[in-house]
Structure 1
Amino acid sequence: MSAGSRVVVIGGGVIGLSIAYHLAEAGTDVTLLERGTLGSGASRATADVVRSYFAGNPVSSALAVRSLAAYHAFPERPGIDLPLRQVGYLVLFTEPEQVTAFEADLPAQHAAGVDVGLIGAKEARRRNPLIGDLPLLAAAYSPDAYISDTTAIVTAYAMAAEKAGATLRTGCPVTAIDAEAGRVQTAEGELSADAVVCAAGAWSASLVRCAGVDLPLTEPIEQELLTTDPLPPGAPDIPVTLHAASGLLIRRRDDRMLIGMGYPGPDRESWRRDVAARLAETYPSLAGLALHTAVTGLRDASPDKTAFIGHQPGPPAFLYATGFSGHGLCNAPAAGELVRDLYLDQDPGMDVTALAVSPRRTG
């Protein structure tokens, strides 16, 4: 059975749903295909944090600044309230090289619109009183970090996309793409389209290869976030805090701490021991709290931790938005706007060449 659709979006996470919404809002006939349930991939393994500062990555920061403005405007467009609780983002520097790298990166961050600056160790400890006796030299602090709710964002984009006329099909994995013919094969049949958009996250690599696009995406990585037992009475609220040397990230979630530190790899128990040891060293008052799995999910990644967003003109056209490397929630509104503008041949409002596949990015 064959059906016609002007644009087929592959992937029902926060990126694909943002794309479907922005295209449908612009009057495009959109069908979105999701292999599982909406938000069941990387979108389910987030810390529910939206922020604008990405160290050493002003391109991702620029996308995040644009996206954060869109999240603030959600009550007006698409007309849905989102939870946004401002907590700030703190990055702890314990090595001189980290301070030097921050200062070198700062002009590009400011040019991207990021509100971030260097604060002293005393101020960092005032903002996060849990910090122990680290050799803390300084810290980066950005006030523009918020606790939100990824499920609420996914649901909001899905509702807005359907209201704008998009068709969302779940439980419908894509088995092949014939980009030259504009055909998408699924277990339920074939769809034809004027354009195909790949926003399939961890499942993107094989799909973009079908379209003849060589994206140097890594194999899917499993992300795991941990949560502690309930905190001692009187534990303070804190900014989202990253220990730059170890990658230990913590934030308060209700009466517990939510914790991430890189990726577990094959030896999950060893990784958990490392997390517990680093947590006790960095925040002694949290030592001894049991750690439990909070969420897990597969994540896509690019070599430079910057998303790939671009297109091959058609007809039929092929567009891609993938490789967000854990930045997807922070970049989703901007990604939807950029894909819409690329498809409609409109001014995207920023230089998108830094996001496309290029020899510089593929090595």
Structure 2
Amino acid sequence: MSEQKNTAEMLVIGGGVIGTSIAYHAAKAGIDVVLVEKNQFGAATTSQTARAFRTYFPRKPHDSEMATRSLAEYKQFSETMGVDLGLENLGLLTILTSPQQVAELEADLADHREAGAAVEMVTAAQAVELNPWLDPDTIEAAVWNPATYRIKPEAIVQGYVEGARRHGARLFSNVAVTGLDSDSGVVSTTAGDFTAQSIVIAAGPLSGDVAKLAGLDLPVWGQFAELLHSDAIRTDRDVHNLPFTFHPVSGLKTMGMGKAFLVGLERISKQDGLRDIWYQAAVDELPKWYPELEGVKLYSAWTGSLDVTPTKSAIIGKGTGKHERVLFAAGFTGHGLAQAPLAGQIIRDLYLGHHPNVDLTPYSLGLNLARLEAF
């Protein structure tokens, strides 16, 4: 590569849905962008999802706002990018199991509505009408979020990659970062050195390690994750179009895929050899909420790593002092699909010196470092 091609105004590290969104929005604004990705675009965390997009995050109205505002861009994707995202409306049911839980989340709904999210409290009977596989005796009430969709992650990345290139961005796959000097703006890679005015860390679970190359403490790490799928269910009832259903108390998440159920489970660590314990917990938990699925076998659909933070929300912002040329957008905890469009716009605005039309307080590096110390 020539010296000219090895310079840029912005160098983005990470070619998943967050990094490619940043590259697209920055390039569209006239910024000279280079993006490097150590694998294929969208091949890591972005591909390791349930392929669902939701706009309600209990007790996190800031995340609901990010997702709701991002949805507007996705709805225009076919027109603006020429790529079909395969949006299928499913809706999200968040199952509540006690009067206390109902009271807590009902009080929280006003903040989500103010953030733009479509949410309403529904009765147990209404929840079962929306998802007939549920056991009504286990439900006190539920929160219904109709703006939840099945979506194609690979199509999002494809659209952003092609869109960024149309606006002049240079995107390189299979290029790993080996060094980062935030003082000089030099980023060393397996394809040679690049020099940039600003460096954006959007490397998913590897973001913390990339930041360490520059001496920056960015508390983002990878957490093992796995999604299971059931056998095909012998039934005449619809499974594929069931709403995405979440049980906060147990951490169980389900959605339909063809005639099978996709099943995820939070709460239990899958690190340090505890995967078998986690798997058995998922097997035991499923029939508690879905009695008809008693005895259904579960198999691994995929395993991977999610980028997590102390607050369980992303870290989005700009470094200070000797790290002032470093920007970051990482730690989306598996929700990057829901927040990528707005994250790209925020990083673009921070680079341009514009004040983002988003309150970044819940996403601040300082908040996450303080939470980490509290641990």
Task: Give the structure-1-normalised TM-score.
Answer: 0.95
Letter in 1 for 2:346: L
- Identify the residue that residue 76 of structure 1 maps to in structure 2: 79
Secondary structure at the aligned position of 1:77 is classed as: helix
Is structure 2 residue 243 aligned with structure 1 residue 239?
Answer: yes
Is structure 2 residue 191 aligned with structure 1 residue 188?
Answer: yes
Residues 196-252 of structure 1 show CA distances to partners (whole Å, capped at 9, x for unaligned) of 0000010011222333433232x3111111111112221323110011211111111
Residues 110-158 of structure 1 show CA distances to partners (whole Å, capped at 9, x for unaligned) of 1111110111111001111101254311001010100111122122222
- Identify the residue that residue 252 of structure 2 maps to in structure 1: 248
- Identify the residue that residue 357 of structure 2 maps to in structure 1: 349
Aligned residues: 362
Structure 1 CA distance, aligned partners of 2:216 and 2:117?
32
Report the Cα offset of residue 306 of structure 1. Answer: 1.2
Letter in 2 for 1:252: G
- Identify the residue that residue 49 of structure 1 maps to in structure 2: 52
Which of 327, 350, 358 matches 1:319?
A: 327
Structure 1 CA distance, aligned partners of 2:290 and 2:324?
54
Structure 1 CA distance, aligned partners of 2:179 and 2:83?
35
Q: Determine if contact 1:7/1:30 at 8 Å carries over to the other structure.
A: yes
Report the Cα offset of residue 86 of structure 1. Answer: 0.5
Structure 1 CA distance, aligned partners of 2:343 and 2:330?
9
Which of 167, 173, 176 matches 1:173?
A: 176
Structure 1 CA distance, aligned partners of 2:251 and 2:323?
44
Secondary structure at the aligned position of 1:157 is classed as: helix
Return closer, same or farther for 1:4/1:337 CA change in 2, 3 Å cut-off: same
Letter in 2 for 1:158: V
- Identify the residue that residue 272 of structure 1 maps to in structure 2: 279
Secondary structure at the aligned position of 1:75 is classed as: helix
Which of 227, 230, 243 matches 2:229?
A: 227
Letter in 2 for 1:258: L
Q: What do you get for the CA RMSD once the two structures are aligned?
A: 1.8
Q: Determine if contact 1:9/1:32 at 8 Å carries over to the other structure.
A: yes
Range moving further from structure 2, 34-43 or 136-145: 34-43
Secondary structure at the aligned position of 1:140 is classed as: strand
Structure with bigger RCO (C-alpha 8 Å, 6+ apart): 1
Report the Cα offset of residue 87 of structure 1. Answer: 1.0
Secondary structure at the aligned position of 2:183 is classed as: coil
The alignment-based identity, stated in percent, is 38
Higher helix share: 2
- Identify the residue that residue 62 of structure 1 maps to in structure 2: 65
Task: Give the structure-2-normalised TM-score.
Answer: 0.92
Which of 272, 287, 302 matches 2:294?
A: 287
Secondary structure at the aligned position of 2:300 is classed as: strand
Structure 2 CA distance, aligned partners of 1:308 and 1:325?
10
Secondary structure at the aligned position of 1:223 is classed as: strand
Matches within 5 A, 1:1-363: 3-132=6-135, 134-217=137-220, 219-236=221-238, 237-262=241-266, 264-265=270-271, 266-312=273-319, 317-359=325-367, 362-363=370-371
Return closer, same or farther for 1:306/1:316 CA change in 2, 3 Å cut-off: closer
Residues 31-52 of structure 1 show CA distances to partners (whole Å, capped at 9, x for unaligned) of 1111111112211111111111
Query: Where in structure 2 are there 5+ consecutive unaligned residues?
Result: none
Return closer, same or farther for 1:296/1:359 CA change in 2, 3 Å cut-off: closer
Secondary structure at the aligned position of 2:78 is classed as: coil
Secondary structure at the aligned position of 2:178 is classed as: strand
